[in-house]
Amino acid sequence: MVEEFPSSRSNDLSPIPSSEGKTRISRNRIILKHMEEGFLAQCEHEAFFNGEDDNSLLFGMDFADLGGSIFEKEYVYEAIQRFPTWRLRGIKALGFLTMPVSDPDRQIGFNYRHDRELHIINTARVMEFAMRNNDFPEELIRIGVTAAILHDIAIPAGGDPTIFVDKNNLNEEEWWWEVIDEEGWKYIEEIGSSREEMHAIINNEGLLGQLLDISDRIAYVIVDMSQNTYYPDFKTILNADPKLGNLYKDIVIDRDAERIHISNPRRLGAFLLARARLHQKVYFDPRSMGRDVFFASLFRPFYSPDGSDREKLFPSMLRRMTDEELIRYLTDNIPNYRNLIKTGIEDPIDFSHALERWYPKEWEKFQTLEEGEVRAEEIRQDPSLELIGIKIVRDVNTAVGLLVEDGNGNIITFQEYDPKWTALIQETANSRKGIYVFYNPRAGRAPL
């Protein structure tokens, strides 16, 4: 759906000279040593666990009848204990995206703070309830819940902007198995599953794979939308259906036909429009997209796809790091990082906060890649301008092909059920489609 292309940034982002290389090597060794010793595994779940005397897990989704405690003997709790999900609390769900503002020179677009661990818990709970509502046997529910917990477990530090640099080697759905330890494989065997079955479900294959895909969308759309209710568009949708997240109750699963449909097409239509609005207003906001491209340009010089350069970051390492560790690595290795963004930065994590407030001062949108590349070359040749990069926004999968039940008991696609609403969804979701070229005046980057 989205691709990023390298920018021709100047030498200020090149790797540090060999005379300073010891910093990078020692930093790598420190991080790897912590990983090997299970340093982060000693963390407790302060964000979700009720307390030492209450072995339960807190979770919740707005606009849905979901929330409260998950207790020790439940499948979600059990899976959280058996796999290294603690790292995901250090991976922000929306990366460096910020809430869009009308005047970025005067207003601050706050960062979204919810994390990937909350997302997998919500996804697992949605999937579990949908399976229970459809009378699945306990052994299959346990397998489905486990796949939901594992579907994002291999997300690399930095999230989506990091993945864009190398989609093949940093794809969390393809490489989930790499972070599973002996205890995790033992648990998968205990529940009667296998690596092959888990891989198929995580990659949305088969009936449980289809259900995971739907559960994943419900979980992230409802939580992401809850962070943006000040938008009139979202308020209108929620005023019409304050329990939009209860879409999970409308999931009907025909196990014999291996088919899933939604029994409430009106609620599905509202949900798909909300998802389209998120793409339009949040995910593809040009300022946030430009920030992602900028971060990718910082990260790319220090990345080794095949791990052959052990002084650099490599895929399996990124799958064991948090966002904070990645930021600290970059600030250790970029000599002039304090000058990249005009602010008084003392601590590396201040750089992360400053980056969240940074945005490209200028961007232009084109219909074809050729037009975008021509403009990018003009910017490269202009001494007063600095190219940040190019980003392609392709068509969004609007999910209007999901099946629904019409008023006559027929199972048809949502697109067939309501062509006019489908057109609105597609127009909204794809309104950002195009080629974006981001740049700044060379005299100084955008103010904070």
| 86-113: average pLDDT | 78
108 domain residue, yes or no? yes
In a domain, 423, yes or no: no
pLDDT at 268: 98
Mean pLDDT of the chain: 84
In this structure, are residues 126 and 66 in contact, taking their beta carbons and an 8 Å threshold?
A: yes
Beta bridge partners of 404: 262, 412
SS3 205: coil
Write down the pLDDT at residue 347.
59
Residue pLDDT, tens place only, 127-159? 999 999 999 999 999 999 999 999 999 999 999
Lowest mean pLDDT across 43-52, 61-70, 370-379: 43-52
Provide the pLDDT confidence category of residue 71 given band limits of 50, 70 and 90: confident
Q: Tell me the residue range of the domain where 117 lies.
A: 43-227
* H or E stretch covering 290: helix 286-299
Is residue 352 within 8 Å of residue 323, measured between CB atoms? yes
Looking at the predicted structure, is the pLDDT value of residue 86 above 90?
yes
Closest CA relative to residue 421, chosen from 444, 398, 447 = 398
Residue 110 lies in a domain: yes
Which tens digits make up the pLDDT trace of 237-290? 998 999 999 999 999 999 999 999 999 999 999 999 999 999 999 999 999 999
- In this predicted model, which residue has the larger pLDDT, 101 or 129? 129
For range 371-381, the mean pLDDT: 97
CATH number of the domain at 184, please.
1.10.3210.10
- The gap between the terminal CA atoms of the chain, to the nearest Å, is 30
- Residue 161 is assigned to a structural domain of this protein: yes
Q: What is the pLDDT of residue 106?
A: 61
227 pLDDT tier (thresholds 50, 70, 90):
confident
pTM of full prediction above 0.75: yes
Contact 361, 440 (CB under 8 A): yes
Mean pLDDT of 56-70: 81
Please report whether residue 115 resides in a domain: yes
Q: Quick one: pLDDT at residue 351?
A: 72
Q: Is residue 390 part of a domain?
A: no
pLDDT of residue 111: 72
CA within 13 Å, CB half, 217: 23
Instruction: Give exposure, 366-375, as e/b (b: 16+ Cβ within 10 Å).
Output: beeeeebeeb
Calculate mean pLDDT across residues 413-421: 98
| Range picked from 58-67, 185-194, 237-246, 328-337 for highest mean pLDDT | 185-194
The most confident of 42-56, 99-113, 232-246, by mean pLDDT = 232-246
Instruction: Tell me what the mean pLDDT of segment 30-46 comes to.
Output: 37
In whole angstroms, how large is the CA radius of gyration of the chain? 23
Assess whether pLDDT exceeds 70 at residue 35: no
Domain count, the chain: 1
Domain-embedded: residue 267: no
| Cα(225)–Cα(278) distance, integer angstroms | 7
Q: How confident is the model at residue 34 (pLDDT cuts 50, 70, 90)?
A: very low
CA nearest to 214, candidates 228, 199, 204, 225: 204
